Structure 1
Amino acid sequence: MLLSKGQKIDVTKGRKLVSVKLLFGWKTKDSSISIDAAAFLLSDRSRCERDEDFIFYGNPAARNGSTAHSVMSDANDRESITINLQRTDEQTAKIAFTVTIHEGEEQGQYMQDVSGLYMRIIDESSNEELFRYEFGDEFTKETAVVVGELYKHQGEWKFNAIGGGFYGGLEALCTNFGLEIESGSAEAAAAVEELVRSPIDLRKKLVQITLEKKQLTNVVARVGIVLDITGSMQTLYKNGTVQEVVERILAVASKFDDNGALDVWVYDTHFSRLPSVTEQDFGQYVENNILNNNAIHKFGRNNEPPVMEDVVKKYTDEEDDGTPVFIIFINDGGVVKPIKKVITAASVHPIFWQFVGIGHSDFEVLRQLDTMEGRVVDNANFFHLDDIAAVTDEVLYDQLLNEFPSWLKAAKEKRIIR
């Protein structure tokens, strides 16, 4: 199976896998270019908690025998990383795989000088190739690539094909994954900053493609996200899914909003309006501003109208400048029926509500949004995703922005927006 960028696939589900081997290959015209593959064993904080969790040529094996690096003699496969899935410890939530050019910046060697980059995953016991991922066609001055991540999800292992090219080489990667480096130079700090921002930049490119497809490139809009924090959402907060949702939606705000900020609310029976998140401070936003915030009421029952009314208050009373507002409302089921009254009353305001249902609830109330009567314009939409973490960015952005154009047109005709 040939993977595409952003694709997430099941690795162990439906298979009896004990150990997988990831094989890396590439071609260079200049024989002096030295490329290395590596693995970072990460906790649920997306960090290497110990130096020995960085597996590369200088530290070729994990102490528990779960992960091993080796150089290949094959003409095509250059290096391999073997993962014994049964030996990975409980602290390893995911494993990031990278390739870097050794001293690339110093030597003036970049990923644009490398061709034929690929990674393939095989079942070590049978040598059967399960997946192949070819990447690297768009790289220029990057010297490092996060190829992808093997991660745990509901007791199974999945793979996320990332293919993100970054600046700063191995030093920047180590810093990003929580490992201390000796160099404290301004250049290294700048490289790390560029690395941290790059995933958002990649997603912004995907948003831009979606905006062009839906003829939204000249639209300026405020963007906000409302996050369900009821009891049934607890696992998604703790396993990093909600953090990733915030990052994915931030890319939309960065393209739509003139200040590049994503406004944030959380709610259960109570609600909290939180500090906006930007490209400069999105890292660990959920942990720092939600999970570790004792002022937030968490993991109770749901009551949507109060938080929705606060959204309306912010944009129509406190900050009423006539700019269209695009609200993404994440909910895992069980919304109360009075939200219909709020949506109907808000139909005279420049606010569009995009509800996203996640999980396996029936979402009866939300499924009726398109047939609600009594509104000046149809100001709300709903779609359902069983597993939001398994949906690619391309698919997510396409669905998020599917009905926004028709609302903009209707709202202009009714002079709700200018």
Structure 2
Amino acid sequence: MTSAISLQRGANVALRGERGAVARIQVALSWQPRGDLEIDASAFLLTASNKVRDDRDMVFYNNARSREGAVQLLEGAAAGGDGARVFQLDLANLPATVERVAFAATLDETTRRGRTFGHLSAFQVQVRDADAGTEIARFDLPLAGAREVALILAEVYRRSAEWKFRAVGQGFNGGLAPLAIQYGIDVAEEPTAAPPPRPAPPPAPTPPPQPVAAPPVPSPAPSAQRLNLEKRLVDLAKKDATLVNLAKKAAISLEKKGLLDHRAKVALCLDISVSMSGFYRSGAIATLIQRILALGLRFDDDGEIDVFLFGANAHDYGTVGAEDYRDFVPAMQRRYPLEGGTNYGKVIALIRRHYRRDLQAGQQPVYVMFVTDGETQDRTESERQIRDASHEPIFWQFMALGQSKAQAKGFFRRLLASDFQFLTYLDEMPGRLIDNANFFQVADPNEPSDEELYDLLMGEYPQWLAAARQQGLLR
């Protein structure tokens, strides 16, 4: 009996058994430790263009059979009953237009909790002769330092008249959505309902043979809301890779908080008092706009953020999106020159009025990023507005700009206007239905790294969401 070949990354082997070319193979995926980390396996039937013919060429737990039946995801006893993921391929019946079948694994988003493939101690891909039951080859993936949540594991491909197996072991950034998009899965239409849960394994006894029947109607393609978002980001990356990379960083922070699929309207409220002139001249506000827009791309279906301005007065600037954010600062300053005075209360009231119609529906929260470098001159009104707003599905994230008194010494410490004691008070203010505000201070908006900023922005937002739902502000 010929022993199985152990492959290294990039190596290949002809799919031959003891009697020559094999007709049917099984590709088995197994890993350690099992634990609570759920892994989803998928196979993509690909043409010469490296794309699927249609969505039915993605074989996974919700579509366990390709349209011709040549590729199947086995379950229960048929898969060995040990929890491995096993695909069976009928090589002779693969359509001539299918030149290869790629196998991938992704960490299930509901169980991974920030983990990556690097948290596994072992992951093996094994290819077997399905009829003889003998192992042809195996591939032990190198996982040390792996930071991805998706892997392209291996592929079965046509070379002349022969089928071969190649060990790939390539990490893929972004999970299942961009992987499916890369292979041509159509995500233009959003399904009316979420895909059904992964089916439970059948009982252990092998079922009796089934008569040959027509292939079943395929399950809907994985065209979930996130796939639509990821496709939009893929398209945008061709024009603005920096913005899309920021959106990916925002996604990491959202995933830590269990908010990867969360939807909210994002608003940016900017101080345009004269004291802010240095931040506008330095480009710090332009950079901040880009970073907040990246969060909006993850949170908001329309990919835009609403912008409000305040100094002595309050202004509704309108929306800013990927097409025009670079010109925001000069365009804004032409329309709204910097003002003397700082009044929070007026702009808070303006924002509340702006969203009042949407708030009555109670379906989608509003996340307000409120940026200022000075204390307000209308404390009583600002306090009243935030207290009243605690009955609405609006979260207020205040970011104060300026050096803290604690960082200065001697005479210069006395010169600093404040340590934003009023914003600290709003963060802790009693008498509200729920805690609807958070506050942090930085010397410069560029001071935190992208990752640090997004973590700061999500500091108390999940707790507010839970409280808002408990109080019936969100449904």
TM-score by length of 1: 0.52
1:304 equivalenced with 2:361 (yes/no)? no
| Alignment CA distance shift 1:318-1:255 (3 Å) | closer
1:318, CA displacement in angstroms? Answer: 6.4
1:320, CA displacement in angstroms? Answer: 4.3
Alignment equivalent of 1:397, drawn from 454, 457, 463: 454
The residue that corresponds to 1:292 in the other structure is 334
The residue that corresponds to 2:323 in the other structure is 280
| Alignment CA distance shift 1:297-1:272 (3 Å) | farther
Tell me the SS of whatever aligns to 2:390. helix
- Separation of aligned partners in 1, 2:359 and 2:254: 25
1:413 equivalenced with 2:465 (yes/no)? no
1:380, CA displacement in angstroms? Answer: 0.3
Contact 1:333 1:362 in 2 (8 A): no
Alignment equivalent of 1:332, drawn from 370, 373, 377: 373
Alignment equivalent of 1:208, drawn from 251, 259, 262: 251
Tell me the SS of whatever aligns to 1:378. coil
| Alignment CA distance shift 1:299-1:318 (3 Å) | same
Tell me the SS of whatever aligns to 2:433. coil
The residue that corresponds to 2:269 in the other structure is 226
Q: Deviations over 1:320-369 (max 9, x none)?
A: 43210100000112124221110000110000000001113410100112
1:270 equivalenced with 2:313 (yes/no)? yes
Tell me the SS of whatever aligns to 2:473. coil
- Compare the two structures and name the one with the higher strand fraction: 1
Identity %: 35
1:310, CA displacement in angstroms? Answer: 0.7
The residue that corresponds to 2:82 in the other structure is none
Aligned residue pairs, count: 227
The residue that corresponds to 2:431 in the other structure is 374
- Separation of aligned partners in 2, 1:244 and 1:320: 34
1:194, CA displacement in angstroms? Answer: 5.0
Contact 2:396 2:438 in 1 (8 A): yes
- Separation of aligned partners in 1, 2:293 and 2:252: 16
1:259 equivalenced with 2:299 (yes/no)? no
Tell me the SS of whatever aligns to 1:292. helix
Tell me the SS of whatever aligns to 1:245. helix
Contact 2:237 2:244 in 1 (8 A): no
| Alignment CA distance shift 1:278-1:319 (3 Å) | farther
- Separation of aligned partners in 1, 2:282 and 2:361: 38
- Separation of aligned partners in 2, 1:193 and 1:324: 25
- Separation of aligned partners in 1, 2:271 and 2:239: 27
- Separation of aligned partners in 1, 2:468 and 2:433: 9
Unpaired segments ≥5 residues, structure 1? 1-136, 139-191
- Separation of aligned partners in 1, 2:337 and 2:344: 14
Q: Residue type matched to 2:451 in 1?
A: E
- Separation of aligned partners in 1, 2:393 and 2:271: 23
Q: Deviations over 1:130-181 (max 9, x none)?
A: xxxxxxx99xxxxxxxxxxxxxxxxxxxxxxxxxxxxxxxxxxxxxxxxxxx
- Separation of aligned partners in 1, 2:465 and 2:311: 30
Q: Residue type matched to 2:443 in 1?
A: D
1:344 equivalenced with 2:382 (yes/no)? no
The residue that corresponds to 2:201 in the other structure is none
Tell me the SS of whatever aligns to 2:262. coil
Contact 1:335 1:363 in 2 (8 A): no
What are the residue-to-residue correspondences of 1:348-363 with 2, within 5 Å?
348-360=391-403, 361-363=418-420
Contact 1:271 1:297 in 2 (8 A): no
Contact 1:354 1:380 in 2 (8 A): yes
- Separation of aligned partners in 1, 2:358 and 2:439: 27
1:218, CA displacement in angstroms? Answer: 2.2
Q: Residue type matched to 2:299 in 1?
A: F
| Alignment CA distance shift 1:358-1:227 (3 Å) | same
1:313 equivalenced with 2:353 (yes/no)? yes
Tell me the SS of whatever aligns to 1:409. helix
Alpha carbon RMSD of aligned pairs, Å? Answer: 2.1
1:279, CA displacement in angstroms? Answer: 1.3
1:319, CA displacement in angstroms? Answer: 6.6
| Alignment CA distance shift 1:273-1:410 (3 Å) | same
1:376, CA displacement in angstroms? Answer: 0.5
TM-score by length of 2: 0.46
The residue that corresponds to 1:365 in the other structure is 422
| Alignment CA distance shift 1:318-1:300 (3 Å) | farther
